[in-house]
Amino acid sequence: MKHFLAAISLFFLFAAYCAAQDDYEPTTSWPYIYEDFSQGTIHYNVGNDRSGLFNICIAGNKLHYIDGDKVKEVNSSEVFSVKIGNDFYQNAGGSLLKVVAKSDKALVVNEKEIDMAQLNETGGAYGSSSVTTGTTALSSLEGIGGTRSNMNHMELRANKQNGKTLPLVSKNYMFVKGWKIACTKKDFLEAPGLDQPKAKAFLKENKIKWNDPQSALAAADFLSNEIQ
């Protein structure tokens, strides 16, 4: 009976944790993919891997880490990829993007961007203009993602709920031979050096669902054999 009650308690604790994660929304004062910094490993272009506590700052999709009591930013040019928890991120043109499908030839990655237009459209509180609100939000983001990345972690964490909720735009890309190509038919056909008749024949034979990462991966694999 004790074991049964313990198992039930663990189940409800896990359910509560999952619900909390689902409810999480990044804000202008905490513009991160994850609610907290999590254990992970950086794979550098040159040199040994390094473990630590990491998070992805949505303002630029940059990698931040905890160094003592400070939040610092990793130089993107030095990073090949990073694992955070169970998620993998690939350096795609200087941005750390989440891998949502992969093969031996190519990747499909997801990029979350801040919808600045929507952020600026939201009216300010107590009669303040939307322009003023958006400017303040942008200034806050630039501080965390840029000049103020060397910030006190606990101070930043304590203010995480004081910011404005960030509206996000999510897009998938095929990442092939260093090229980041949007998961759309138009962008697929505009891939550099692509043989158009061959590409169109491929699309006719394969009904690619561009919103499905696994389906788009087939198109990415095709591109890996066709582009330089």
42 within a domain of the structure (yes/no): yes
d(CA 161, CA 126): 19
Q: What mean pLDDT value characterizes the chain?
A: 82
17 within a domain of the structure (yes/no): no
31 within a domain of the structure (yes/no): yes
d(CA 21, CA 135): 29
- Give per-residue pLDDT as tens, 33-78: 999 999 999 999 999 999 999 999 998 999 999 999 889 999 999 9
pLDDT of residue 164: 83
pLDDT of residue 191: 96
Instruction: Provide the pLDDT confidence category of residue 88 given band limits of 50, 70 and 90.
Output: very high
Total domain count for the chain? 1
pLDDT of residue 23: 86
Question: Encoding tokens for residue 81?
Answer: 């990829």
Average pLDDT over residues 163-178: 93
- Give per-residue pLDDT as tens, 98-141: 999 999 999 999 999 998 888 777 544 333 344 444 444 544 55
Is the pLDDT at 192 greater than 90? The verdict is yes
pLDDT of residue 122: 58
167 within a domain of the structure (yes/no): yes
64 within a domain of the structure (yes/no): yes
174 within a domain of the structure (yes/no): yes
pLDDT of residue 150: 66
When comparing pLDDT for 149 and 197, which is higher? Answer: 197
7 within a domain of the structure (yes/no): no
Average pLDDT over residues 204-212: 97
Domain that holds residue 113: 24-226
Instruction: Provide the pLDDT confidence category of residue 81 given band limits of 50, 70 and 90.
Output: very high
Question: Encoding tokens for residue 213?
Answer: 């990462």
- Give per-residue pLDDT as tens, 18-32: 434 468 999 888 899
98 within a domain of the structure (yes/no): yes
pTM: 0.80
Closest CA to 108 of 88, 83, 86: 88
pLDDT of residue 6: 41
pLDDT of residue 153: 81
